[in-house]
Amino acid sequence: MVTRAVEDYLKAIYKLQQAGAPATTNAIADSMGLRAASVTAMLKHLTKQGMAVYTPYRGAALTEQGQTAALRTIRRHRLIELYLHQHLGVPWDRVHDEAERLEHVISPYLEERIDAALGHPQFDPHGDPIPTSTGVLPVQDLVPLAELPLNTPSVVRRISDDNPDLLRYVASLGLVPDATIRVTARSPFDGPIFVEVIAQGETETTPTQQVVGAEVARNVYVSRP
């Protein structure tokens, strides 16, 4: 039986691994808002369950079984986010927290009904990929906005959804999924970049110029040119 706590840990470890960061005890604790001692105890438990391999002072890595369980939870979470946003009108800066509560309680039957009702989508409202029922993720080739070459039109594909304030702010700038943008200038020494928002999805709009700080530029991802 995979408990809610186990699902949360597996998801946290998976996200750290996907970001290329070691899933150390402290990194997991920071991402989940927990004490390191509690994390160590759970990592030992996950190892006994065959979900992870824990090495003291080095962290944890998911086994195939653990990754499968993590992807199931992530699939439910992102399907719920999209359903809440599209069908209930929940703002995209609130769907993450609501999905955190619901992802542990819906049945596989309801999960598949939601997937069908949405037309078997590949991405959630923030542009994160939705795993299939067999754990396959759609392929993305993205770069952070901070690394986009100058004067190269590209399309916004994903925005990190950990911070609701960030989501509200980038929306106010027009940096939402499917927006076409280009970087017109870049300040040195990690200074702001200057971005022209060319279009919102398929809707042609008057291009607007936005000044984007370094932290925002690292959390907005665009199609690789």
CATH number, residue 40 = 1.10.10.10
With respect to residue 113, please indicate whether it lies within any of the assigned structural domains.
no
Task: Count the Cβ atoms, other than its own, within 10 Å of residue 25.
Answer: 22
- Alpha carbon distance 8, 102 (integer Å): 12
Residue 150 DSSP code: B
Task: Note the Cα 184 to chain centre separation in Å.
Answer: 27
- Answer whether residue 24 is part of any domain: yes
DSSP per-residue letters across 162-174: S-HHHHHHHHHHT
pLDDT of residue 206: 83
**pTM of the shown model:** 0.92
- The pLDDT tens digits of the residues spanning 186-209 come to 999 989 999 999 988 776 678 899
Q: How many domains does the chain have?
A: 2
For 44-86, what is each residue's pLDDT tens digit? 999 999 999 999 988 999 999 999 999 999 999 999 999 999 9
Boundary (domain end) residue, out of 62, 86, 107? 62
The answer to whether position 197 is within a domain reads yes
Is pLDDT of 225 > 80?
A: no
Phi, psi angles (nearest 5°) of residue 186: -140, 125
CA angle 12, 129, 67 (to 5 degrees): 40
Q: What is the CATH number of the domain that holds 172?
A: 2.30.30.90
Taking only the tens place, the pLDDT of each residue in 122-146 is 999 999 999 999 999 998 899 999 9
Token pair of 191 as six digits: 């200074």
178 occurs within a structural domain: yes
Q: What is the largest CA-CA distance in the chain?
A: 58
In terms of phi and psi (left: phi > 0; alpha: psi -120 to 50; beta: otherwise), the region of 153 is: beta
- On whether residue 153 sits in a domain, the answer given is yes
- Establish if 91 belongs to a structural domain: no
Note whether 148 and 225 are within 8 A (CB).
yes
- Tell me which residue range forms the domain holding 159: 142-223
pLDDT at 16: 95
Domain boundary among 62, 85, 105: 62
- Can you tell me the distance from the alpha carbon of 100 to that of 73, in angstroms, rounded to the nearest whole number? 10
Alpha-carbon gap, residue 216 to 209, rounded angstroms? 15
pLDDT band at 224 (very low <50, low <70, confident <90, very high): confident
Last residue in a domain, options 16, 38, 62: 62
Residue 94 in any domain: the answer is no
